[in-house]
Structure 1
């Protein structure tokens, strides 16, 4: 076999398919940009506008609040649209414009907290629309039996972005200042839009609005014991994790004395654990089953972060503890994202996919702004380190929900779910139908 042939044999089969490869490339570039923005935007507030704990809480809340307010209607709207890919392209372009406005106004000396809050709110809203459409596009590109492989590739890119993004973000902040570093994120949104424009998968048909359309996804979640348990566990870990992340940059730079560059390197080096988690998840699932692997991920995600408020003493010890915390937590996050994402993808009927995702985001991501607000309030009231202890210990409570549930007993991905019966038409839809002439068919 030639060297080229041996190299080709190592490429995952899904990446040999042009449509998925282009989709994956766009996702990978955009995820790297998101990580740059994740460190650069808070640093804009801290370094350029001298934010305090409360202002950091408001900034995080502005970006997260759309998940609470818009996910449910966005999912219902996306299920009724036939061209979700085009919607995703528009949201990418709009996010590029919003994020680029920050360095522009900074260069003009006009950057304010009001603009930062508005940009964060706009990006959060557009991200909600992008993500609910993305769940439908994903199943259009991947056969039903290969969800774990597809999720592993996408989340492997996410893990790589954890390695490259924060490191690049920290270095860009030091070289260009925090606002100008955000230009890199704007470019990644443009790249994502370009890659999406070059694929044309057959998407699931649009579902017409009918009575119960908006609440169908929510009702489906509460009827499923697996979805109820995983939703409660996800909501718990998300709430406490966002208390943690709202204050982590402030804690690391002020109390631990890390520079932007060192902080970026710590986060990037620690996220090597994410790559390890993404690489090992398939093997873990084959050995212990999909349900137990979900439990392992839920445990491994929050537990290592207990080392962060524990950090103290010599600089080498502090950096070592932060590295271990990031490594272990990112590994756990990859395991739970891949396994839980694949399990939920297999469980959800196509006709309800965007609505279930929208409802799930409302219930789980919706607690993020509450966590951010709680983080800002607690950080102001009791201090940064005590608040991080509350955040890290509280996140471990996610296991209380999934351990007694059916999840630990699930060994294989379930087969395709039955499609739900159509909802009864709404009054306006019935009137419209009765006014139309019968079809000749």
Structure 2
């Protein structure tokens, strides 16, 4: 699994993500067949060279062939491409500063409902996980639009993102995100731009209302150039990625640039770096306390449940011999650095200790999944991990073992023995 760091100093859009992800994977080819896989023959993907303030990169453009046909039939080339050259705050047909012309969609096709777009995704020849990602991104946009317009989700017409280019844009990102196999995403604060933008709904502030809704809870700033720097599509993809915005040091392995179509004073690119998974090191602490004047019964289940609730990740209690021959218990707790105050306060309140010690530790963790398994004794949740040699380890959750024991009038040992005999890997 991979970890990435997104630098959104010039905003974000679907095309910028597409371009950067493709470069990061060194794979542009799989996008070229995407219109066919989506059964959208009126869409096309073109790969173009771009130069943004001296940064040479490739721009993945999603073309709506309906727009090109409409342009040719009206012999109005300059008008149809005005969004490429006008300033953001004054573009009459572009909802995005670099992506594609959101406003043109209503000229050539009926607006689609969410259910229409979901059917296109469901019938696409892409992986099931890519379909799930695409569904989630569209649902996020739908919920934002529903809230802004105070309309039921089912009746919302997707104006700006119902066109062929937008559908290919979002699904393309879903395909690339699936291939990246991400475990963690970090991001800088997001530059939104500022001013007023003209949309199908009229003149709206930047960021547009739906975009602002999608950015709730994320750190943003307007920057120093007027215009719309982040699109609803860019905001929705970012929200799906659920990034951590905490500033951190990291070691880049590979860096990619995703250019926007327009040119600004600042380089109009997003920079995405693949970083070492070990970037998580030194974010955990081990906290220890030697307890020699307290009965061990007070360190039982209730104390342990409270310790985990306070922020501990794991802990152990071992017996030790202290000075003057005193027996004691060594409580060793693993916790995130951010939980040091909560956990230490809990220990001071819940034990007799008057001092604790702590130090940073590194952890190597296997990727893990929580899965539901159906067994002869009932449903159970298991933790599944995969070793570097692709050996699968499965461990049932003890709480579920106890529950099945009660339900089947058996001991916990009898239940786990039966589950082991039936081979959980194949259940």
Point out the structure with max Rg over C-alpha. 2
**TM-score when normalising by structure 2:** 0.21
Higher strand share: 2
